[in-house]
Amino acid sequence: MTGQQAEPLPEGWRPAALNQGWTYRDITDSHDQGTLISVLMAQRYAHSCEDVWLRRIAAGELRLNGKLLLKDQPLPDQAELLWCRPPWIEPAIPDIWSVVHDDGDLLVINKPSGLPVMPGGGFLQHTLSTLLDQRGRQLGEPLVAKPVHRLGRFTSGLQVCARQPTTRAALSRAFKPSSGTRKLYQAWSQRVAGLEFGMSLAVNTDVVERTHPLLGWVWGPLPPADGLIRRRLKAHSEFTLLERCPQGDLLQVAITTGRPHQIRIHLAQLGSPLLGDPLYMNDQRISDVATPGDAGYRLHAWRLQLDDLHLSCEPPSTF
């Protein structure tokens, strides 16, 4: 029996590929109590259960203070633990984008949907930061551009990068809530009750870190009254109706805070999640089987003002 052939990738996509693996380093804390696995791994790397970590120990993937860890043991104080993760296959990504602005230092691109900005969520080398580094070195640039902030993997649009460290530091301050920088997005959501043309609706509920069966903790809307919360961040979003059709609402979203998944979370808080969002659902629920990096939603970073520089890029035709 022959296996089915994979469908060809769209033009401008980099195929799935095996990376070189990665070594994660942790230092144990004097406040932690228990064994290495129960405390360090089960709590800090909640994506894997204790049985998985026992198999990794048996495979020789963990080292404690430079020595191969042969079995789980009581947690030592201020010890170095290394997890030498073997290579894994990273999914295919789009690796072509258009440049919105480039003055030799500040670089703003129109990031395609599907491209992670930074390592995380199973991505190490298939990221914008790695692609920028590779292309900068190929061009012989003395300083390569690096992302200043992080759009979600499936959020398209204005992604700000810079080559000079001082510029990145200044832009990072400009993206903080206290700076007053306004960012405009376009988003397709389920119909927002009470929102009509010519009106704007402000949402100021906190973005909170709540429990999730796959990830341990995930940022989301406020949970039910008995739900656990580890952290909370103040957030502000303002929604304006641009278009209404039977499938849902096209919204302009203005944010002055850049909290994790803020727009997705605030729309879920309203009871009007992004169309196709696999994670954030009605009634402030979060899917037990989805993660923030899963596809399905439509969100586009549309306009941005940085001091006297006004930047914009229209959503892709598939939006």
Question: What's the number of domains the chain is made of?
Answer: 3
Mean pLDDT in the chain?
90
Q: Does residue 12 lie within any of the structural domains?
A: no
Whether 140 shows a pLDDT value over 80: the answer reads: yes
Q: What is the pTM of this model?
A: 0.88
306 shares a domain with 195 = yes
250 shares a domain with 210 = yes
What integer is the mean pLDDT of 94-99? 96
Write the DSSP assignment of 233-302 as a string of letters: E---EEEEEEEEETTEEEEEEEES---TTHHHHHHHHHT-PBTT-SSB-GGG-B-SS--TT-S---EEEE
Phi, psi of 46 (to 5 degrees): -70, -5
299 shares a domain with 189 = yes
244 shares a domain with 211 = yes
CATH of the domain at 124: 3.30.2350.10
Q: Does residue 224 lie within any of the structural domains?
A: yes
- Residue 56: predicted pLDDT: 93
Whether 255 shows a pLDDT value over 60: the answer reads: yes
Of 43-52, 89-98, 181-190, 292-301, the poorest mean pLDDT is in: 43-52
Whether 310 and 319 have beta carbons less than 8 Å apart is answered as: no
Domain boundary among 39, 72, 89: 89
What single DSSP character describes residue 165?
A: H
Alpha helices in the chain (DSSP H): 42-44, 50-58, 128-138, 165-174, 262-270
Q: Does residue 269 lie within any of the structural domains?
A: yes
Q: What percent of the chain has pLDDT over 90?
A: 68
* Domain extent for 50: 17-89
Whether 2 shows a pLDDT value over 70: the answer reads: no
- Residue 1: predicted pLDDT: 44
pLDDT in tens, 223-239: 888 788 999 999 999 99
215 shares a domain with 164 = no
Q: Give the number of C-alpha atoms closer than 13 A to the C-alpha of residue 298, restricted to the C-beta side.
A: 18
Rounded-to-integer distance, Cα 218 and Cα 222, Å:
12
